[in-house]
Amino acid sequence: MAKYAVGDYCFEVKRYFPDTIFNAITGVRVNSPEVILREAETRKRRKGLTRDGKLTILAADHPARMVTRSGDDPVGMCDRQEYLGRVLRVVTHPDVDGIMATTDVIEDLFIVNHLVKQGGGPSFLDEKVMLGSMNRGGLSGTAFEMDDTFTSFSVDSLRLLGLDAAKTMFRLETTSADSAKTMRYNADIISELNRHEIPCFLEILYVSSEGYKVQKTPVEMMKAIGVASAMGDSSRNLWLKIPFCEDYARVVRATTLPLLMLGGESKGDPTGTIREFVAGMQAGANVRGALVGRNILFPGKDDPLATALAVNRVVHAGVSTEEAVDFLMKNRDIHLDTLTRHIR
């Protein structure tokens, strides 16, 4: 494969998302919070979720569940300027299909979109697929982690902001009564979303009883997919989000539902994730893209946008690992003035 290298390169968030823009967000929240609803109301939405049957969606809901580690740093995702700057770096590019995030991040994006438009720039949220993350109450490392309550978006707030879909999560742990409760929460919310014809992207994970570590053996994955596919009163609006694993071609045959691959914990070197996604996209006709967060936002020293564009080409153009890695290295630091040329 192409030789991946970063050398002395290191992406610097503040070159793209300086203090002035970060601080302006709080100013809008204090003085003009109505901007959020106005931007939501005027956003141009896609006619359908996909243009070619495939999606590349950035995930940005981890801090809300107290998942904050990036590499060796246990709080690497806690610095909101660093985190939001990386989110914006990716989502402002027109080739990336969309964003999945919690209320705070989605509303920060609406505010920055307003600031860009105020400075004469185009809306970067028009035609984006925007997913609201709903259940974040199962905080990582707590005694109530498996009781994953709905603490972020509601169906009403998804509709108020004109978002395109919802994202929920269900972790199957066979000895936990709280896992069963979370299953019920998800089934109920999928049914409620169906009443409003709002698509739901359900992340399904089979986890162990010790530390709730994700189990990726094909047998466990197939069983979990079978459970998830039948949740709610109808599967007509349901997509599943699942990890890549061994024997993936067999695993994805456990359902006819469209599947998006997740990236898991940040690996530092994005080539492993790219390689998995190349294999995953070839595993079955129902594998329709990726919904990935940490491995895009924190790809070691690399540029989040360059990494996202490489994954995007895997999903939409079917390129090889070698071609995607080459594309990544050629696109570092492009469009660094996307925000600063409009926001002073």
Would you say residue 257 has pLDDT above 80? yes
Domain ranges of the chain: 13-330
* Residue pair 80/64 in contact by the 8 Å Cβ criterion: no
CB atoms within 10 A of CB 326: 17
> What distance in Å separates the CA atoms of residue 264 and residue 91, rounded to the nearest whole number?
19
pLDDT at residue 254 in the model = 98
Q: What is the residue-averaged pLDDT of the chain?
A: 96
Summarize the confidence of residues 74-100 as an average pLDDT: 97
| Residues contacting 124, CB < 8 A, separation 6+ | 91, 92, 94, 113, 116, 338
Domain 13-330 is found in CATH 3.20.20.70: yes
Which of 331, 330, 289, 283 has its CA nearest to residue 311? 289
pLDDT in tens, 165-187: 999 999 999 999 999 999 999 99
> At 1, which amino acid appears?
M
Task: Give 32-38's long-range contacts (Cβ < 8 A, gap of 24+).
Answer: 35/110, 35/111, 35/114, 36/107, 36/110, 36/111, 36/161, 37/160, 37/161, 38/114
* Residue pair 187/232 in contact by the 8 Å Cβ criterion: yes
132 beta partners:
101, 166
pLDDT at residue 1 in the model = 52
pLDDT at residue 10 in the model = 95
Per-residue pLDDT band for 267 (boundaries 50, 70, 90) equals confident
pLDDT at residue 300 in the model = 92
Per-residue pLDDT band for 268 (boundaries 50, 70, 90) equals confident
